[in-house]
Amino acid sequence: MGTATKILIGLIALFVIGVLWAVSSYNGLVGLQQSTDAQWAQVQNVYQRRADLVPNLVSTVSGAANFEKSTLLAVTEARASVGRVQLPSGTAPTDPAQLAAFQQAQGQLGSALSRLLVVSEQYPDLKATANFRDLQAQLEGTENRIAVERGRFNDVVLAYDTRIRQFPAVILAGMFGFTQRPYFSATAGSETPPKVQFDFSGAAPAKP
């Protein structure tokens, strides 16, 4: 076998290896990207579950005599603001500003709901109703799921963002438009309990 033939075979082998690497790396990047989209869908699901609980919770609480109206208004307005945040359909956000706006709106709704539950402590008759207790339990469970799914989302985004910045995958990432995706960040002040100022429209809540 001549030298030229050996060189040709070597070049072909290198080309085949290169193609196999490119295909494997590309598929790996696609898989990680799909994982971020799938986990984002889970995040949206749990947030939607919380939003779906709001109308029933507001309806139940508003039935309590002299319940603080400003608290109910804050919850209703916060839920409406969540619906006004525009996000890409079917994929995880790639714009940090979009995710920040989404997180801010969701944080406002979470704070308003926390305040509503704090105010509800002043109404023993309301706390004693089965419907309120059920909604409260569902809401608390949903808040836990939100924390879990957000953590999982950050984990898969970390894996994806790390991969597209590593050599040699960074070459393919640049060629095929795999861009970094933002994380959920810790909410400033989330460790501070909501400040409650009662407004009972001149009437006192029911006593136990």
Residue-wise pLDDT for 113-148, tens only, equals 999 999 998 898 888 899 999 999 999 999 999 999
pLDDT higher than 50, residue 200: no
pLDDT higher than 80, residue 151: yes
Please tell me the least confidently modeled range out of 39-53, 98-112, 122-136, 144-158. 122-136
What was the pLDDT predicted at 187? 58
- pTM, full prediction: 0.83
What was the pLDDT predicted at 202? 39
Q: Decide: helix, strand or coil at residue 14.
A: helix
What was the pLDDT predicted at 9? 80
What's the CA gap between 161 and 132, in Å, rounded? 43
What's the CA gap between 44 and 88, in Å, rounded? 12
What's the CA gap between 172 and 164, in Å, rounded? 8
- Mean pLDDT confidence for 53-78: 90
What was the pLDDT predicted at 196? 36
* Token output for 206: 């029911």
What was the pLDDT predicted at 205? 44
- Residue 146 CA, chain-centre distance (Å), reads 7
Cβ atoms of 82 and 109 closer than 8 Å: yes
Average pLDDT, the chain: 86
Cβ atoms of 119 and 198 closer than 8 Å: yes
* Token output for 111: 């704070």
CATH code of the domain occupying 3-176: 1.20.1440.20
